[in-house]
Amino acid sequence: MAVTAVRAGAAVRAGVVRTAALASMGIAAHAAVNARLLRVAPPARPVPERVSVILPVRDEAARLDGCLAALLAARDVPELEIVVYDDASTDATGRILAGWARRDGRIVPLRGAGPPPGWLGKPYACAGAAAAATGTVLVFVDADVIIAADGLARAVALLRDSGLDLVSPYPRQVAASPAERLVQPLLTWSWLALLPLRAAERSPRPSLAAAGGQFLCVDAAAYRRAGGHAGVRDQILEDIALLRAVKRFGGRGVIVDGTSLATNRMYVGWAELRDGYAKSLAAAGGSPAASAAQVGLLWWLFVLPAAAAARGSRAGLAGYLAGVAGRVVAARRTGGRSWPDAAAHPVSVGLLGYLTALSWWRRRRGTAAWKGRPVTAPPRRRGPRAGS
């Protein structure tokens, strides 16, 4: 009887591995389909409307010069303004911004003293800059993004040609250190492999929304109709929340190919990457149970087959290779490094699980912070009651 039980357990484990391998193959195939469906910006042409670039900055002295120089070199955007909102920087950001504004009148410098209760810093800076913007198209850009000379014109052309209200051109991700190369490619892979792009364009469902705040192009009227950043004032993932708001008000939007439009090195080194993901992964999950389920699913799909392959399982090997194939598809389609980085996909997924747990740990302890500020918005103060 003991032998029978052992055999039954082995059969169950083998079945679990085979199921995971088949699912991984399906995900790799879906990534290949999405790679063909991914919207690509048309060639640049003169933009016949005013474009307002919104650039929120806080302590970005090391990056601001490169970002602004690239924006000012934009071609085919004759009516361009760049509204830069300095969110109470403590370094040389303000001085650098003032120098650029003196040299080029297209730059509109604004200075804030920090977000009020109920707001997080980035939504508040974006809202303040958008309120001063005069364009019919708003392009939100982060300071760590370098836009190609034709990037703005092509992004606006894609927005108008597609008939969408919001497009999020995902920049080519630059990953240099070992930690960056392990974790950063998961961002591009996740939406290319797991998000049904065409359904996401049409569906108002919140679960079918993906956007990157690094580079986001939105019709100004649709933005204001959806409430702008005031409607997502306390959201850590304000980019996805903004797309969901646009959808709630009848708009449509989706993530698109920004590989040739911009580059982005989001984090430099392990410490910055760790803190960056620790501020946001808990918000991405929504609850500890949901985050645990998401991580568990990814481990089943991509870590379990690799572990089984190491013990000689052919099904495990097939599942591992399918995971690697999906990563290679995503990397080649979006200008990333495909080899040997893709071979470490199970390690990348394992590290993502650690960062997710760390994010929840810091949130529960109240230590989650970014650039010297907590990443949860303090509650808004209640006004005095009537008659008091």
Average pLDDT, the chain: 92
In a domain, 33, yes or no: no
Residues 256 and 277 in one domain: no
Task: Write down the pLDDT at residue 110.
Answer: 97
Task: Write down the pLDDT at residue 386.
Answer: 32
- Residue 363: DSSP 8-state: H
233's tokens: 């004032």
Q: Give Cα 294 distance to the centre of its chain.
A: 17
Give the pLDDT mean for 120-147: 97
Give the pLDDT mean for 20-26: 95
In a domain, 235, yes or no: yes
Residues 180 and 311 in one domain: no
Give the range of the structural domain holding residue 286, as residue numbers without chain letter: 271-370
Task: Write down the pLDDT at residue 372.
Answer: 80
In a domain, 174, yes or no: yes
In a domain, 342, yes or no: yes
The answer to whether residue 169 scores a pLDDT higher than 90 is yes
Residues 134 and 220 in one domain: yes
User: What confidence tier does 11 reach under pLDDT thresholds 50, 70, 90?
Assistant: low
In a domain, 19, yes or no: no
325 Cβ neighbours under 8 A, 6+ residues apart = 28
Q: Which of 268, 300, 315 is the endpoint of a domain?
A: 268
Confidence (pTM) = 0.91
Describe the strand order of the beta sheet including 215-219 as a list of residue ranges.
107-112, 80-87, 51-57, 137-141, 215-219, 166-173, 253-264, 145-147
Task: Write down the pLDDT at residue 383.
Answer: 38
- Residue 73: DSSP 8-state: T
Residues 218 and 311 in one domain: no
Give percent of the chain with pLDDT exceeding 70. Answer: 94
Residues 298 and 264 in one domain: no
Give the pLDDT mean for 335-360: 95
Query: CB-side exposure of 123: number of CA atoms within 13 Å?
Result: 24
Give the pLDDT mean for 95-121: 95
In a domain, 39, yes or no: no
Q: What is the pLDDT of residues 209-232, one digit of tens each?
A: 889 889 999 999 999 999 999 999
Task: Write down the pLDDT at residue 378.
Answer: 61
Residues 123 and 112 in one domain: yes
Residues 263 and 279 in one domain: no
Residues 199 and 345 in one domain: no
Q: What is the pLDDT of residues 352-368, one digit of tens each?
A: 999 999 999 999 988 88
297 Cβ neighbours under 8 A, 6+ residues apart = none
The answer to whether residue 314 scores a pLDDT higher than 50 is yes
Give percent of the chain with pLDDT exceeding 90. Answer: 82
In a domain, 17, yes or no: no
Task: Write down the pLDDT at residue 2.
Answer: 54
In a domain, 93, yes or no: yes
Residues 227 and 80 in one domain: yes
Name the strand (E) or helix (H) holding 102: helix 93-103
Q: What is the torsional sign of CA 48, 49, 50, 52?
A: negative
Query: What domain count does the chain have?
Result: 2
Task: Write down the pLDDT at residue 388.
Answer: 30
- Residue 40: DSSP 8-state: B
The residues with which 106 forms a beta bridge, in sequence order, are none
CATH of the domain at 106: 3.90.550.10
Residue pair 257/39 in contact (Cβ under 8 Å)? The answer is yes
Residues 168 and 252 in one domain: yes
Residues 188 and 83 in one domain: yes
Task: Write down the pLDDT at residue 325.
Answer: 97
Residues 198 and 238 in one domain: yes
Task: Write down the pLDDT at residue 262.
Answer: 98
